[in-house]
Amino acid sequence: MNNVEPVRSKEKIYAIKQYILSDKYNQEYQARDYLLFVFGINSALRISDLLSLKIKDVINSQGEIKESFKIKTKKTKKEMKILINESVRKALKFYLEKEKFPDPNDYIFKTRTGQNLDRIRAWVLIKKWVKAVGLDPSSYGTHTLRKSWGYHSRKNFGIPIELISEKLRHKSNAITKRYIGISQEEINNIEKSL
């Protein structure tokens, strides 16, 4: 089981967004990196699937942002429908304003040379973001974005673990509980409060 943590604090999520949008951040990659963070914590996609997205996956032939899209995941080879929620929509608009008429076949998360961003570079970025807001980078990595979706779906929105498990395509609820960081202590505290 992957040992990285979700970003548990809503305040830290907000702080990461503000850090990426700040004047201190590399302006060339600001819109891309902001979209990577926002898309990652709002989609539950694995980093490999997120990094494989192309403009045509999220923009229709009229140049409008789609309501949703389907992706065949690399690990499970199963099709997954991804809703483009309002947070992702705003981040996409910001990105598209900066990119100015990107080619539909371009990767969304690309390097200066036009290649898609790789896992290692995404890992470095995530570590940089969490460190900038005072979190220990050794506890975070590429699974952090996906885990954050699961953690906050349950913690802040009360989504049942069964639905989170289904979305994450896990084989059991127990795997999902471990994956998103539900500890025995947390379970005990819930039981005490009932």
Of the candidates 151, 150, 129, which has an alpha carbon nearest to the alpha carbon of residue 140? 129
DSSP type of residue 158? -
Is residue 189 domain-resident? no
Q: Could you say which of 17, 46, 110, 177 is catalytic?
A: 46
Domain total in the chain = 1
19 catalytic residue (yes or no): no
Confidence grade of residue 90 (pLDDT, cut at 50, 70, 90): very high
Higher pLDDT, 67 or 3: 67
pLDDT of residue 186: 61
pLDDT of residue 185: 55
Q: Which residues pair with 46 in a beta bridge?
A: none
pLDDT tens track for 112-167 = 888 899 999 999 999 999 999 999 999 999 999 988 888 878 877 677 777 777 77
Sign of the dihedral through C-alpha 152, 16, 50, 55? positive
- Kindly write down the DSSP assignment for every residue of 29-43, as one continuous string: THHHHHHHHHHHHHH
pLDDT tens track for 49-58 = 999 999 999 9
Confidence grade of residue 76 (pLDDT, cut at 50, 70, 90): confident
pLDDT of residue 80: 87
Is residue 142 domain-resident? yes
170 catalytic residue (yes or no): yes
SS (H, E, C) 47-72: HHHHHCCEHHHHECCCCCECCEEEEE
* 155: number of Cβ within 10 Å: 16
Range of the domain at 130: 10-146
179 catalytic residue (yes or no): yes
Distance CA 149, CA 110 (A): 23
CATH classification of the domain holding 61 = 1.10.443.10
Distance CA 40, CA 53 (A): 12
pLDDT of residue 194: 62
Is residue 26 domain-resident? yes
pLDDT of residue 189: 59
pLDDT of residue 172: 74
75 catalytic residue (yes or no): yes
The pLDDT of 85-91, averaged and rounded, is 97
Is residue 112 domain-resident? yes
- Per-residue pLDDT for 88 more than 60? yes
pLDDT of residue 170: 65
pLDDT of residue 181: 72
Distance CA 50, CA 80 (A): 12
pLDDT tens track for 4-52 = 899 999 999 999 999 999 999 999 999 999 999 999 999 989 999 999 9
Alpha-carbon Rg for the chain, nearest whole angstrom, is: 17
Is residue 166 domain-resident? no
Distance CA 52, CA 162 (A): 27
77 catalytic residue (yes or no): no
pLDDT of residue 113: 85
Q: Which residues pair with 31 in a beta bridge?
A: none
pLDDT of residue 10: 94
8 catalytic residue (yes or no): no
Using alpha carbons, list the distances in angstroms from residue 137 to 78, 129, 146, 170. Answer: 32, 8, 16, 26
Q: Could you say which of 127, 143, 152, 177 is catalytic?
A: 143
Is residue 94 domain-resident? yes
Is residue 184 domain-resident? no
